[in-house]
Amino acid sequence: MLGAMIKKELTQLRRDPRLIALIVVMPVIFLVLFGLALKLEPKNVAMAYVDNDRSFFSNLIKTGLWSDGYFKLYPVADRAAIIEEIRSGRAEAGLFIDGNFSADLSENRQPHITFYVDGTMPSLTTAMKYNSSAATDEGVTNDMYFLDENAPPTVIAPEPFIMDTVVLFNPDEKETWFFLPGIIGVLIMQIALILTGITVVREREKQTLEQLLVTPISKSAFVFGKIIPYVIIALIDFYLILGLGWLLFDLPEATSHLYLALLAVVYVAVMIAMGVLISLVSQTQQQAMFLAIFIIIPSVMLSGLIFPLEAVPDYIRPLCYAIPFTYFVEIIRGLLIKHTLIADLWHSFAALGGFAVLFIGLSILKFRRSLL
């Protein structure tokens, strides 16, 4: 009996070539893609700097920071601009050197410089703080001592200058603040893709789809009728999960609850529309489930949720920005943790809105073709 059951299952699988293709191809694609893309140590981390001293000694510090290829420095106007560059996501770190740096150095008064670092992603924060030690390396500081043989003996500090480190937006480097906003998106993605992904397939398998098609219902009404109930369910889940995050894990309040609500509506619409499209192109519920998983796993791994996008090779990074979840992660972290200005998030909102229009349009088109 056992052998008969195994034979029956294998026969059913053989009759579903799409499912076999997914089972065989999906692990190979993931292995190659993740092997190439997933890195923990980024290069060319953007650092905004202000050098009001503009001396040989301040240049030594900057050279020490960029010479090993970890930081990529670019100038900005003032200290406030450094913070705004990091808040907007254009930079992950910053450096401020005061105009009196050389004068204080020549008097052995141990001047201070300030190293700013984005605390949103604690693992990246730790790596940046470690690599910032290149500014205080002996190769840099050995040329910064001033000794006058004719002057009275003085006590010279062991370090010629002090580098103060300021962690922005998440000063305690709480990992829950880093992960939870993105986890909300993952849970909504699972609910939306899996629930919606099997909805049309289920109608087809139960042979109720044909009964619906002979009714006067329009194609648009069919697609929106499939989308709207799950949009409502997903929105309730979004605020339920977010509320628990605020209550249990002390997540920061959003910059704007209006834009947070807009994010929820647009993101849920994208996920539900994608789920409907999966359902329309799938022949069985198993195919729909595999396609949903095929989307969820790369979305989690390549969106910046766990691994920094800065560490992804340049030739794979466009793929990261072809994933809607990447923009969700950027927006929700900006609204909740960094309090990013809306002007710096509009392109991500526009991208999500474009995905919503694209997937709804493709769903309507696919549904029309399925009737021909």
CA 256 to chain centre: 20
Can you give the pTM of this predicted structure? 0.81
| pLDDT for the residue 116 | 95
Smallest Cα–Cα separation from 121: which of 362, 314, 330? 330
Segment 19-33 shows an average pLDDT of: 75
| pLDDT for the residue 156 | 55
- For residues 72 and 282, the model is more confident at 72
* Separation CA 204–CA 371 (nearest Å): 13
Band of the pLDDT at 96, cuts 50, 70, 90?
Answer: very high
Mean pLDDT, all residues of the chain:
83
Report residue 34 as tokens.
Answer: 């993740």
| pLDDT for the residue 84 | 92
Smallest Cα–Cα separation from 52: which of 74, 79, 84, 81? 79
| pLDDT for the residue 1 | 67
* Separation CA 353–CA 262 (nearest Å): 10
Output the CA–CA distances (angstroms, integers) from residue 326 to 99, 193, 248, 349, 355, in the order listed: 40, 16, 25, 11, 12
Instruction: Judge whether 364 and 220 are in contact, CB under 8 Å.
Output: yes
* Separation CA 290–CA 15 (nearest Å): 16
* Separation CA 104–CA 95 (nearest Å): 18
Segment 298-302 shows an average pLDDT of: 87
> DSSP of 85-105, one letter per residue?
HHHHTS-SEEEEE-TTHHHHH
- For residues 141 and 299, the model is more confident at 299
Segment 321-345 shows an average pLDDT of: 91
Question: What does the pLDDT look like over 309-320, one tens digit per residue?
Answer: 877 888 888 888
| pLDDT for the residue 83 | 93
Instruction: Judge whether 144 and 57 are in contact, CB under 8 Å.
Output: yes
| pLDDT for the residue 331 | 94
The radius of gyration of the chain from alpha carbons, rounded to an integer in Å, stands at 27
- For residues 287 and 84, the model is more confident at 84
Estimate the crossing angle of helix 257-281 against helix 324-333, to 10 degrees: 160
Q: Left (φ > 0), alpha (ψ -120 to 50) or beta: where does 227 sit?
A: alpha
Question: What does the pLDDT look like over 63-74, one tens digit per residue?
Answer: 888 887 889 999
* Separation CA 172–CA 27 (nearest Å): 38
Lowest mean pLDDT among 21-35, 175-189, 287-301: 21-35
- In sequence order, the β-bridge partners of residue 163 are 113
Segment 250-266 shows an average pLDDT of: 90
| pLDDT for the residue 277 | 87
Segment 93-119 shows an average pLDDT of: 88
Smallest Cα–Cα separation from 204: which of 287, 90, 324, 100? 287
Band of the pLDDT at 262, cuts 50, 70, 90?
Answer: very high
Residue written as token pair 């406030």: 80
| pLDDT for the residue 347 | 92
Band of the pLDDT at 370, cuts 50, 70, 90?
Answer: low
Residue written as token pair 């990013």: 340
| pLDDT for the residue 147 | 58
- For residues 57 and 82, the model is more confident at 82
Percentage of residues in the chain having pLDDT higher than 90? 23
Lowest mean pLDDT among 146-155, 191-200, 323-332: 146-155
| pLDDT for the residue 209 | 65
